[in-house]
Structure 1
Amino acid sequence: MTEGPGRRRYDSLRRTAQAQQTRADIARAALRLFVSHGWTATTVRDVAREAGVSVPTVYAAYGNKSGLTRALADAADLSADVPQQVAELEAAATDPARQLAAMAGYDRRLYERAGEIITLVREAGRSEPELATLYRDSRVRGDQTRVQVFSAWPPGVLRPGVDVPSAVDVYAALCNIDVYNELTAERGWSPDRVERWWCGALARELLN
């Protein structure tokens, strides 16, 4: 039986999820060692041993020790469960509202489970160019997912006057770490309430 077009549409997202799973042990091992031993004392060989992989596998995944800073971002992404997002997007291929909910759910998990890492990387990036690039690249990856999803919708799904780039901008303005922290830490909202509000707000702002 051949796969339908809805499933094939998300092949690239599935491949990304599989690649991230391959890097998962390395990312988590690097994070553990950076926290327990510090950046200077941690070697690529240490990370490989901790992750249970070969040294060449670490180099293939991250390039070099400096590249291991990307493990911070990968650890955050993995904690939010990229495969779950891909599965939910595929299951809702003909339902834009459910796809928005899948993306909002991913961001809720990301900020709930890894918000401190994201904030740390962003703040450190003000003085460390490598971490600034890391933070910017992670934002770009998120935008690319939204572009792929919104671009797959048939004409007439987005509200009149809202094109794909504008939809990505609106999404980013609503579903970000600062909004999440403001609502949960400052205003006492539960993560569930934030996610429900995001789903409704996104549907109102983006869907026709």
Structure 2
Amino acid sequence: MRTPEGRRAYDSLRRTDQAQRTKAEIAQAARRLFTANGWAATTVREVAADAGVAVPTVYAAYGNKTGLALALSDAAEIEADLRAEAAALEAAQGDPPGQLAAMAAFDRRLFERSGDLIAMLREAGRTEPELATIYHDGRRRADAFRAEVFGLWPAGTLRAGVEESVDVYAALCNIDAYLTLTEERSWSADRIETWWAGLLARELLAGA
């Protein structure tokens, strides 16, 4: 026979699960509306209606629209599978072309799964300083990570210095290039990833 304490524990798990599901539904609704209608045109009330919850529930879960955008930005990197990138980089240790390929694969996944959101954050950031901060913080984290990887390679591996190599990487692998190739040139994500991997090796590595 179950004890009252056991029933309370199960009830607690159910409440936690429901709260997480509600947050996920709100985030999905926000993403749909932000990317379809734009940041400025979307209200918290519309997000709540799309998610099927009350307006106070949205505020309780995320605080405000900016909190929603921040949560979506964090989720984008999770969706792109940071764990898979870490495993691929570790597996390719001592193989700079292989590590560049792993980084290109992560960027492909990021843009493939969250490119619409990234483009929305950048556009909204033109008029919303908080969103501009979210977007640029993401770019800075990416630059810092690449610099860390490049800095571990033996001297002479890179064609130029670490800082310039990070700049070149950012110029080649970015959301604009991805969207141009997929939307205007009908490239597949697989083709872009393969091209990026070869291009990065040729442009960044000495003697490539």
Alpha-carbon contact 2:77-2:110 (below 8 Å) kept = yes
Distance 2:107 2:200 in 1: 13
Matched, 1:152 2:148: no
Question: Is 2:89–2:102's contact at 8 Å kept on the other side of the alignment?
Answer: yes
Aligned pair partner of 1:206 in 181, 204, 207: 204
Conserved? CA contact 1:97–1:203, under 8 Å: yes
Task: Go from structure 1 to structure 2 and tell me whether the alpha carbon gap of 1:163 and 1:134 turns closer, same or farther (over 3 Å shift).
Answer: same
> Could you list the runs of 5+ residues in structure 1 that have no partner in the other structure?
1-23, 48-63
Query: Could you tell me the TM-score, scaled by structure 1's length?
Result: 0.73
Sort the Cα spacing of 1:30 and 1:151 in 2 relative to 1 into closer, same or farther, 3 A.
farther
Residues 160-199 of structure 1 correspond to what in structure 2 (within 5 A)? 162-199=160-197
1:107–1:46 CA distance, 2 compared to 1 (3 A) = same
Call closer, same or farther: CA 1:148–1:170 in 2, change over 3 Å. same
CA contact (8 A) 2:30 2:68 kept: no
Once the two structures are superposed, what CA deviation does each residue of 1:136-174 show, in whole Å capped at 9, x if it has no partner? 001011101101100000111112xx0000000010000
Distance in structure 2 (CA, Å) of the matches to 1:151 and 1:26: 42
In the other structure, the counterpart of 1:45 is 60
Aligned runs of 1:57-206 on 2, under 5 Å?
A: 65=64, 66-159=66-159, 162-206=160-204
Percent identity over paired residues: 51
What is the SS of the residue equivalent to 2:194? helix
Shift of the 129–205 alpha-carbon distance from structure 1 to 2, 3 Å rule, reads same
Q: 1:68 to 1:26 in 2, by over 3 A?
A: farther
Between Structure 1 and Structure 2, whose CA radius of gyration is higher?
2
Q: Which residue, 21, 30, 37 being the options, matches 1:34?
A: 30
Deviation at 1:97, TM superposition (A): 0.5
Calculate the aligned-residue CA RMSD, in Å.
2.3
**Counterpart of 1:93 in 2: which secondary structure?**
coil
Please list every run of 5 or more consecutive structure 2 residues that lacks an aligned counterpart in the other structure. Answer: 1-19, 34-41, 46-54
Preserved CA contact (<8 Å) 1:27 1:72:
no
SS at match of 1:104: helix
Residue 58 of structure 2 aligns to which amino acid in structure 1? T
- CA–CA distance in 2 between the matches of 1:26 and 1:87? 32
AA in 1 matched with 2:90: E
Q: Distance in 2 between matches of 1:30 and 1:77?
A: 18
Structure 1 Cα separation of the partners of residues 67 and 173 of structure 2: 28
- Residue 38 of structure 1 and its aligned partner are, at CA, apart by 4.7
The count of corresponding residues between Structure 1 and Structure 2 is 167
Q: Deviations over 1:28-64 (max 9, x none)?
A: 45522535895353535345xxxxxxxxxxxxxxxx5
Q: Report the CA distance between 1:90 and its aligned residue.
A: 1.1
Change (3 A) 1:180 1:38: same
Task: Please state how far the C-alpha of 1:72 moved relative to its aligned partner.
Answer: 1.8
Contact 1:27 1:75 in 2 (8 A): no
Q: Note closer, same or farther for the CA distance 1:112–1:92 as it changes in structure 2 (3 Å cut).
A: same
